[in-house]
Amino acid sequence: MIRGKKKPILKLIPNEIDWVHARSVHTCYAKKSGSQHIATEFALAYLSALVRIIRPKYVLEIGAGIGTISQLLLDHPNKITRLAAIEGNCFCIETLKTRFATAFKERFNLITDPTKIEIGEQYFDLIVIDGLFESKLCDLLKKGSFCFVEGSRKSTRKVIIDKLENRNLAINFVNYNQGIRYFEWSTKYSDGRKRILPKFRFCRILKGCWIGQVTPLTMP
């Protein structure tokens, strides 16, 4: 068996409303305590676009942090029915309770212990990963589920791909990034000798997000 070609499941381009929504949430949370590792405005815009297009009802967020992505999801114009958010950090747990437990009590479910999640037939239209990922959570990814990974998280994506393959499923993650930044490095002789010195050019992909949908594994 082989994995399918890596091609987008859908054409994902944030519109003006997505960018405005993402910027509003990011600006608000960038000023809050514990904001050092919140999702980028770029990733938030693409998540907003994904929610607008696939219109998920049941969403799982892994690594809710201080609530940046949670806020974007709960305030999205395409109202989701239920958001389950996993977070184990004590500071973040108290912050999430304060911000969402009352305001969104009918739609927000905070999970502080991932072992208490019942896998079974539970289905999530969308799973968002922005924190520590336990491999057993792969069982929550079912055929048709979308997965949004903030940043790179290469090891997490590999675990997901391998675990799904064991269940005859596949996911073709597509990278949406902010472009490439180039920089050069060279050395100089301290005695002033005139020589052609080697220059090295490096590049770094500016992180964004990875998005994929679970499908049956392609047969050879």
The first and second tokens of residue 164, run together, are 């799904």
Asked if residue 163 is part of any domain, the answer here is: yes
CA distance 80 to 58: 7
Q: At what angle do helices 41-54 and 16-29 cross, to 10 degrees?
A: 130
CA distance 220 to 5: 12
- Answer whether residue 68 is part of any domain: yes
Give the span between the Cα atoms of 124 and 92, in whole angstroms. Answer: 23
Give the N- to C-terminal CA distance of the chain in Å, as an integer: 5
CB 215 within 8 A of CB 172: yes
Tell me, yes or no, whether 99 lies in a domain: yes
Residue with token string 């409303």: 17
Q: Which helix (H) or strand (E) holds 27?
A: helix 16-29
List own/partner pairs for 26-32 with CB under 8 A and 24 or more apart. 26/68, 28/71, 29/66, 29/67, 29/68, 29/71, 32/66
Contact between 165 and 4 under an 8 Å Cβ cutoff? The reply is no
Cβ-contact 111, 85 below 8 angstroms: yes
Q: The CATH number of the domain where 148 resides is what?
A: 3.40.50.150
Containing 132, the helix (H) or strand (E) segment is: none
Assigned token pair, 6: 């890596």
Q: What are the pLDDT tens digits along the chain (220 aa)? A: 344 444 555 678 999 999 999 999 999 999 999 888 899 999 999 999 999 999 999 999 999 999 999 999 999 999 999 999 999 999 999 999 999 988 898 999 999 987 777 776 689 999 999 988 888 889 999 999 999 999 889 999 999 999 999 999 999 999 998 755 555 555 555 555 555 555 665 555 557 899 999 999 875 5
Task: Please count the structural domains in the chain.
Answer: 1
Domain for residue 171, yes or no?
yes
Has residue 160 been placed in a domain? yes
In 3D space, the residue among 70, 78, 65 whose CA is nearest the CA of residue 34 turns out to be: 65
Let me know if residue 200 belongs to a domain. Answer: no
Q: Is residue 196 part of a domain?
A: no
What token pair was written down for 187?
């050395």
Structural domain for 21, as ranges: 16-180+209-216
Q: Identify whether 4 is part of a domain.
A: no
- Parallel, antiparallel, or unpaired: how do β-strands 82-86 and 180-186 relate? unpaired
* CB-side neighbour CA atoms (13 Å) of 106: 3
